[in-house]
Amino acid sequence: MPSPRILILGATGGLGRALKRHFGARNDLTCWGRAEMDFEKPDEISAKLAKQDFDVVLNAAGMTSPDVCEVQPERALLANVVAPQIIAECCERKGARMVQFSTDYVFSGEPHDLWREEDETKPVNVYGRTKLGGETAVLKACPHALVARVSWLFGPDKPSHPDNVIQRAMQTEELTAVADKVSAPTSNSDICRWLERLILEYPDTHGVLHLCNSGIASWHTWAEAALNIAETLGVPVRTTRVQPVELASLTQFKAQRPVMTLMSNAKLQGLLREEIRNWHDALEEYLVQKYQPK
């Protein structure tokens, strides 16, 4: 099968950059950031896509801050629902495949076993509601699209929770992190690898699929894991201990956060017939690469 022509949207974001690096070496790749396609100008999207040749669109663009979405819901609607729908319509017309990234925040966060793809969605904030709206709109316009729900991303392309905690721990011993909010930290590099297999080996996969590492973490256990790994790598952190706090004690958030959004990756595991590694192993690999470059 010839290498598919891939168009990455949101190529300046954390996941978008990881996708660009991963697919760049081996595929006919086009990468667009907001400068090339602004999701808040929906009238321009169809014409731009019509002029571009591609077999696969990876849409990693969107309004991703729950707090910004909460106070700017009209912009969130454009970025997370309206634009993805137009892109899906274009993909359907061209016979191209679309991958729309979505989130564990489509779930309510109420106490639950691992959330499976078919479980009821009930987002608690504008971000989750618009991302869910995007899922529905994309699959309606392009039934062969893949909606890839991901959670708690980390990797070299954009600092996230473990990077921030390690940075803070080099300055102070006074660290806190929320202990009663859980999900699965997920490596952007692993997502790229899974996605490559899904695109090349399973081109018919469509609908909703959870793309997350195995295991469970809170922001607190994730933080302490990062500090312990960093310390063994010789990073001059002043502590590996983090004071656990409750989500309810944080008053700075504009948007409510769901509490328990840990997703099942059994479907991904069955599809790829490979063991999906634990987030801790993926985090260790990432921090070794960051702090002990060869």
Ligand X SMILES: NC(=O)c1ccc[n+]([C@@H]2O[C@H](COP(=O)([O-])OP(=O)(O)OC[C@H]3O[C@@H](n4cnc5c(N)ncnc54)[C@H](OP(=O)(O)O)[C@@H]3O)[C@@H](O)[C@H]2O)c1
Q: Which residues are at the interface with ligand X (CB under 6 A)?
A: 10, 12-16, 33-34, 37-40, 60-64, 79, 101, 103-104, 131, 150-153, 158
Closer residue to ligand X (CB): 222 or 229: 222
**Distance of alpha carbon 190 from alpha carbon 260, whole angstroms:** 22
The Cα 58–Cα 62 span in angstroms is 12
Segment 22-27 long-range contacts (CB within 8 Å, at least 24 positions apart): 22/189, 22/192, 22/193, 22/196, 23/58, 23/192, 23/196, 27/3
The rounded distance, in Å, linking the Cα atoms of 146 and 101 is: 8
Which class for 230: exposed (0-12), middle (13-18), buried (19 or more C-beta within 10 A)? Answer: buried
Min dist. Cβ of residue 266 to ligand X (A)? 19
Closer to ligand X by Cβ: residue 148 or 227: 148
C-alpha triplet 267, 194, 121: angle, nearest 5°: 45
Name the residue with tokens 């790994």.
Answer: 229
- C-beta of 103 vs 125, nearer to ligand X: 103
Q: 19 vs 169, which CB is nearer to ligand X?
A: 19
DSSP 98-157: EEEEEEGGGS---S-SSBPTTSPP--SSHHHHHHHHHHHHHHHH-TT-EEEEE-SEE-TT
User: Shortest Cβ distance from residue 179 to ligand X (Å)?
Assistant: 18
If the CB atoms of residues 64 and 214 are measured against ligand X, the closer one turns out to be 64
Q: How far is the CB of 203 from ligand X (least distance, A)?
A: 22
Smallest distance, ligand X to C-beta of residue 264, A: 16
Helix count and strand count (H, E) for the chain: 11, 12
Residue number, 101 or 219, with CB nearest to ligand X: 101
Q: What is the number of the residue whose Cβ is closest to ligand X? A: 13
**Closest by Cα among 104, 105, 92, 107 to 137:** 92
Coil, helix or strand for 18? helix
Q: How far is the CB of 54 from ligand X (least distance, A)?
A: 17
Residues 128 and 106 sit within 8 Å (Cβ to Cβ): yes
Comparing CB distances to ligand X, the nearer of 6 and 60 is 60
- Least separation, in Å, of the C-beta of 75 and ligand X? 7
Closest among 249, 241, 245, 185 to 217, alpha carbons compared: 185
Helices 279-291, 161-169: axis angle to 10 degrees equals 50
CB 191, min distance to ligand X, A: 9
Q: Closer to ligand X at the Cβ: 72 or 239?
A: 72
Position 66, amino acid: P
Least gap, CB of 128 to ligand X (angstroms): 10
